């Protein structure tokens, strides 16, 4: 079954995972090791420490790494495509578990700063990291005593969730973090736990404006979105916030588009030259005023939803240019149980646009990183639509 992935590797073979997009429900959310790319707006993309998979890094000796790797990694290495990825059986299993929106980790989302530091970007509410007093902006200097200078962020992700040593990881295991905040350095032991991500959240941004944020298109996200739309007070317009949404299941994304469309085409994609189509279900809400917020972290199937709503004239798109990723990968289980994903085609929007590299240009462009301005513009546009 084909999927799309989102992240750019810095070495020939990518292993491990963090959010990617899938057709017909096998995998969730992108694959990468090495370094995380910059989004189309220049911002660093973030990765949850347990979203799915991990691994990567290695000794730096690619030949030795490949000799020690499984069948999938050797196949991906020969393929040479930057979007291809290889997973060990354990990584693949973790990736499948991520489809439910559950993961094992500490509850930390991390980024790598332009200075090369690994920094806490978010701390999930109620997580072990929150109970340990960790705050956004804290610098992670060491993990289990190992320094992180110049290390790929995916190495930090892997170590945080324990996928580098799966036999010693799991709920109840611990990881020792060396942290820095405002010049103060300390160490804290944080327990790993099984956590659930909030995929769809609703807030009242202003009178007459309901903002629905979708963080990824994992299993059940479309149904959650449908319920969220049904809960919007009568007369409110909707701001659909897809900023930072790195994708998810493409079938789930097509169902999400169905919430706002009355049937019709969502996207077409090819697999080895054979064309397929994704259609919206009939009966969606086509009346409620709708604005979609996007940025450089809006990727893959989230871009597919954006492109469908834009091409079908269902929504006004506000924000900065999206990431630009529409290639399709097909997973293939190898004799040793590892999984290789190789690019087999592309998807295009209903009007026939391909978004690779160029992304989607919003109808109303706001400077990258100007979140407050983007939200204000979205409310203004929504007022006009109403």
Query: In the prediction, which pLDDT does 71 show?
Result: 87
Can you point out the beta strands (E) in 192-257? 193-196, 200-206, 209-214, 237-241
Query: pLDDT at residue 177 above 50?
Result: yes
Q: What angle do CA 356, 267, 261 make, to 5 degrees?
A: 130
- As a whole number of Å, the CA-based R_g of the chain is 20
Query: In the prediction, which pLDDT does 314 show?
Result: 98
Matching residue, tokens 């160490």: 187
Structure tokens of 145? 């005593």
CA distance 179 to 43: 23
CATH class of 105-196: mainly beta
Q: What is the mean pLDDT of residues 168-177?
A: 89
Are both 105-196 and 200-326+347-385 of the same fold? no
Query: pLDDT at residue 3 above 80?
Result: no
Model pTM score: 0.69
Query: pLDDT at residue 150 above 80?
Result: no
Q: What is the mean pLDDT of residues 314-334?
A: 90
CA distance 296 to 298: 5
In the chain, % of residues over pLDDT 70 = 78
Q: Containing H/E element for 334?
A: none
Residue ranges of alpha helices (H) inside the chain are: 62-68, 71-79, 89-97, 128-131, 153-161, 221-230, 250-258, 301-311, 371-385
Contact criterion met (CB below 8 Å) for 120 and 127: no
pLDDT tens column, 295-308: 998 988 999 999 99
Q: What is the mean pLDDT of residues 160-168?
A: 72
Query: In the prediction, which pLDDT does 59 show?
Result: 33
Query: pLDDT at residue 350 above 90?
Result: yes
pLDDT tens column, 80-109: 777 777 887 877 776 666 666 677 889 988
Per-domain boundaries in the chain: 105-196, 200-326+347-385
CATH number of the 200-326+347-385 domain: 3.90.226.10
Matching residue, tokens 């910059």: 38
pLDDT tens column, 54-70: 323 333 334 433 433 47
Q: What angle do CA 122, 127, 129 make, to 5 degrees?
A: 65
User: Residue 74's pLDDT band (boundaries 50, 70, 90)?
Assistant: confident
Mean pLDDT of the residues in the chain: 79
Q: What is the mean pLDDT of residues 161-190?
A: 88
pLDDT tens column, 230-289: 999 999 999 999 998 988 888 899 999 999 999 999 999 888 888 999 999 999 999 999
pLDDT tens column, 191-241: 999 887 778 999 998 999 999 999 989 888 999 999 999 999 999 999 999
CA distance 297 to 155: 20
């Amino acid at each position: 079954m084909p999927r799309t992935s989102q992240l750019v590797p810095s070495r020939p073979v990518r292993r491990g995972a963090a959010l990617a997009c899938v057709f017909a429900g096998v995998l969730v959310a992108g694959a990468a090791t090495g370094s995380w790319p910059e989004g189309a707006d220049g911002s660093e993309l973030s990765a949850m420490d347990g979203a799915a998979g991990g691994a990567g890094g290695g000794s730096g000796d690619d030949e030795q790494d490949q000799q020690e790797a499984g069948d999938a990694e050797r196949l991906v290495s020969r393929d040479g495509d930057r979007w291809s990825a290889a997973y060990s059986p354990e990584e693949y299993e973790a990736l499948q578990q991520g489809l439910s929106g559950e993961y094992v980790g500490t509850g930390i989302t991390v980024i790598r700063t332009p200075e090369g530091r690994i920094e806490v970007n978010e701390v999930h509410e109620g997580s072990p990291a929150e109970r340990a007093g960790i705050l956004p902006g804290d610098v992670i200097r060491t993990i289990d005593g190992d320094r992180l200078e110049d290390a790929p962020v995916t190495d930090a992700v892997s170590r945080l969730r324990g996928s580098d040593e799966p036999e010693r990881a799991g709920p109840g295991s611990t990881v020792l973090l060396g942290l820095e905040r405002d010049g103060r350095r300390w160490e804290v032991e944080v327990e790993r736990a099984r956590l659930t991500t909030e995929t769809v959240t609703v807030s009242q941004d202003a009178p007459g404006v309901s903002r629905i944020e979708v963080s990824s298109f994992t299993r059940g996200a479309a149904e959650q979105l449908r319920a969220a739309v049904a809960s919007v007070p009568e007369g409110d317009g909707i701001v659909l916030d897809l900023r930072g949404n790195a994708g998810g299941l493409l079938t789930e994304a097509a169902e999400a588009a169905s919430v706002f469309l009355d049937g019709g085409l969502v996207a077409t994609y090819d697999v080895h030259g054979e064309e397929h189509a994704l259609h919206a279900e009939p009966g969606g809400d086509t009346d409620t005023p709708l604005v979609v917020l996007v940025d450089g972290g809006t990727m893959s199937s989230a871009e597919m939803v954006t492109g469908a709503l834009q091409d079908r004239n269902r929504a006004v798109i506000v924000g900065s240019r999206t990431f630009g990723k529409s290639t399709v990968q097909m997973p293939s289980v190898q004799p040793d149980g590892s999984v290789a994903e190789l690019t087999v085609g592309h998807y295009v929007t209903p009007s026939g646009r391909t978004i690779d590299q160029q992304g989607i240009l919003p109808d109303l462009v706001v400077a990258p990183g100007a979140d407050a301005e983007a939200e204000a513009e979205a409310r203004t546009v929504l007022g006009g639509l109403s």
